[in-house]
Amino acid sequence: MASDSSASVMLGLGSYAPELRLTNEELCQRIDTSDEWIVSRTGIRERRIASKDETTSDLALAAARNALADGGIAPEEIDLVVVATITPDMAFPSTACRLQHKLGLGNVCCFDLEAACSGFVYALDVADGLLQSGRYHKALVVGAEKLSSIIDWEDRSTCVLFGDGAGAIVLGLNGKGPRLEGFLCGADGANPSLLCQPAGGAEKPASKDTLRQREHFLKMNGREIFKNAVRVMEYAGRTLLDRHSLTPEDIAHVIPHQANARIVESLSQRLSVPIEKFYCNLERYGNTSAASIPLALDEARRAGLFKPNELGLLVAFGAGLTWASALIRF
């Protein structure tokens, strides 16, 4: 596929993970589980946990500063901020507005986007479209989550899976860097209860009953999510390749949503892309939802894994259910 001269360019990339590491062994002291059980079913060995005083916007701020520094970009050059998150500092105002203030940006366009674990790729797609419109020039796109704030630490089926973190990309239409060459985003809202936070919204406002029933914590049907995740990620990846007349052999790197090692292994088989081409760091971070892809992308880039002109595939699924994929020319 020929390079698109109008494609958005990744001008800066950065990430941040809290200092505190919560290992499987430490979790075993809280709940009835074992390191072997967690690793064999998820591939996760530890996850990062934000401090009580760290907010999602604080995590986003650290990642954003790293992305700006990486690209040599001054904050005043940013005129669009999109934050993908399911754990905003508060329902409103948006975490993007709080990030704008903390970064010292001007009165620029800021909003949050919620597509759960697909959120960062959704946000890239939206920011790219707004840049292509000509109304904006440089976009700060952030995926940030403090999932520890909505995890039920008494539920061993979910508390072992998730961690906190953030990743950020500065996008522009001019400059040198990896180019975003295509997107696919989709959703199927037929079964929202498969992965959700039942209470706290307009459907089920906070009450003594919702608190007593622990409905403000994340709930997940793990078996059904596994089956749907593999199916929709295969669809998102394969369909995007087909639309651009590409084959799995054209892909040098896959950065998947870091949910579960077995999901990634199944996806590798279904896409016919060798597992060696998949970059995974979930054993050290767990599932960080919207932060997982930019965290992995930044880590792989800093490790020097990407060569010029190689093609990368981002692919994700999330609550909704949502799915998303993107092509990157390094």
Q: What is the CATH number for 210?
A: 3.40.47.10
Positions marked catalytic: 117, 257, 287
The reply to whether 204 and 298 lie within a common domain is: yes
CA nearest to 138, candidates 62, 74, 200, 79:
79
Contacts of 68 (CB under 8 A, 6+ apart): 12, 14, 74, 75, 78, 140, 170
Give me the pLDDT at residue 2, please.
42
Q: What is the pTM of this model?
A: 0.96
Q: In this structure, is residue 312 part of a structural domain?
A: yes
Cα 173 to Cα 21: distance, rounded to the nearest angstrom: 38
The reply to whether 145 and 239 lie within a common domain is: no
Provide Rg for the chain, Cα atoms: 19
Q: Tell me the per-residue pLDDT of 279-300, one tens digit each, with 9 for 90 and over.
A: 999 999 999 999 999 999 999 9
Domain range for 76 is 9-175
Q: In this structure, is residue 38 part of a structural domain?
A: yes
Q: Which two tokens stand for residue 36?
A: 């072997």
Beta carbons of 1 and 181 less than 8 angstroms apart: yes
Among residues 150, 175, 200, the one where a domain terminates is 175
**b/e map 187-208, b = 16+ CB within 10 Å:** beeeeeebbbbbbeeeeeeeee
The reply to whether 162 and 187 lie within a common domain is: no
Cα 267 to Cα 313: distance, rounded to the nearest angstrom: 13
Cα 22 to Cα 49: distance, rounded to the nearest angstrom: 7
The reply to whether 54 and 169 lie within a common domain is: yes
Among residues 121, 143, 175, the one where a domain terminates is 175
Q: In this structure, is residue 201 part of a structural domain?
A: yes
Give me the pLDDT at residue 224, please.
95
The reply to whether 114 and 39 lie within a common domain is: yes
Q: In this structure, is residue 239 part of a structural domain?
A: yes
Give me the pLDDT at residue 6, please.
72
Give me the pLDDT at residue 7, please.
86
Q: In this structure, is residue 110 part of a structural domain?
A: yes
266 to 110, 118, 269, 290: CA distances (angstroms): 37, 18, 5, 21
Give me the pLDDT at residue 5, please.
53
Spell out, as residue ranges, where the chain has pLDDT lower than 70: 1-5
Q: In this structure, is residue 93 part of a structural domain?
A: yes
DSSP letters along 18-33, please? -SEEEEHHHHHTTSS-
Q: Coil, strand or helix: which one is 146?
A: strand
49 to 148, 153, 162, 218, 240: CA distances (angstroms): 7, 12, 9, 16, 34
The reply to whether 132 and 22 lie within a common domain is: yes
Q: In this structure, is residue 230 part of a structural domain?
A: yes
Give me the pLDDT at residue 178, please.
97
Among residues 129, 150, 175, the one where a domain terminates is 175
Total domains, the chain: 2
